[in-house]
Amino acid sequence: MIAVRDLRCGYDGRAVVENVSFEVERGQVLVLLGPNGVGKTTLFKTVLGLLPRLGGEVLLDGAPLDAKPGSDDLKRIAYVPQAHVPAFAFTVAEVVVMGRTPRIKAFAAPSERDRAFARKTLVELGLEHLAERPYTEVSGGERQMILIARALVQEPDVLIMDEPAASLDFGNQAILLRMVRDLSRSRGLSVLMTSHNPDHALLVADKVLLLSKGGGCRCGRVEDVLDDESLTDAYGTPIDIIEKAAGPNGAALRSCVLRL
């Protein structure tokens, strides 16, 4: 379980986001929503220890998170960045085995067991056909899945994903969100993800953290936090949530629509 208490984050001592508190249990998904520039990435980087905290604390199973190089906590938190194309043509298998790095000694290289584990994970995610392809040449959607495979190879308890569905087409968004939901449940992962699309929260989130333009911060269960007013307030434009009782088993389908 990962918890954040009264976190203040920002650059050079200037706070961008303040008074953030939330916790994500095992098997839960928290989706972080908010307009551009509100500090979603800053918050993530602070939780990951890439930026120093300006205040508050980050707790892993109740103990303060230690993000120093070589710390055991880094094995337990996996970061899935937005996929970019690296300068060199690593194969997909090589990229995935990088997830073992926190478990590999500073002067050592991945063992055969590490490589076999990476391969097994690729098979589990149905990506084994990509294993020997250059990571630089697969599609954007595949690249995002490969980074998730890399994160799983780390055997983490917490998965932190920076806009995993950005730049994916509709079908790939569905594949990715289904994967996130299933992984969090089957592996008991606490998942934190950002998204630009509030529908993603309606689809997979157990909890939502909504950052507003004015600096407001609401956190809680999806049905408690996301409504017309809170979304309109957060994004500064009229937004309605519409509902249709047409899902499988007659469950309600909810979706956000913009009004221009």
Partner 1 sequence: MAFWKRHYVLTLSLLLVAVFLVSLFVGRYGMSPAEIGSLVLEKLGVGDFANANAAHTAFFVIRVPRNVGAVLVGAGLACAGAVFQGVFKNPMSSPDILGAATGAGFGAACGILLSLSAVAVQLFSFAGGLAAVLLTCGIARSIEGKGATPVTLVLTGIVVSGIFQAGISLTKYVADPNSTLPSITLWLMGTFSSLTWADVGQLATLLTVSVLPMFLFRWRLSVLAMGDEEAKTLGVNVPLVRMVLIVCATLVTSTAVAYCGVIGWIGLVVPHMARSIVGADCTRLIPASLLLGGSFSLAVDIVARSLLPIELPLGILTALIGAPFFLFLLKRSRGGWSR
CB of 190 to partner 1, least distance (A): 16
Paired tokens of 123: 């098979």
Contact flags string 110-149 toward partner 1, x per CB under 8 A: x-----------------------x-xx------------
Of the candidate residues 33, 48, 96, 211, the single one contacting partner 1 (CB under 8 A): 48
Q: Are 29 and 205 in contact (CB under 8 A)?
A: yes
Cα 71 to chain centroid, rounded: 21
CA distance 211 to 35: 8
Q: Does 50 bind partner 1 (CB under 8 A)?
A: yes
CB of 209 to partner 1, least distance (A): 20
Of the candidate residues 21, 71, 167, 172, the single one contacting partner 1 (CB under 8 A): 71
15-18 long-range contacts, CB within 8 A, separation 24+: 15/54, 15/55, 16/42, 17/42, 17/43, 17/211, 17/215, 17/217, 18/215, 18/217
CA distance 126 to 110: 22
Number of residues that bind partner 1 (CB under 8 A): 36
CA distance 71 to 125: 28
Q: Which of residues 77-96 bind partner 1 (CB under 8 A)?
A: 77-79, 81, 84, 86-91, 94-95
CB of 67 to partner 1, least distance (A): 8
Query: Site residues (CB under 8 A) for partner 1?
Result: 45, 48-50, 69-71, 74-75, 77-79, 81, 84, 86-91, 94-95, 98-99, 101-102, 104, 106-110, 134, 136-137, 154
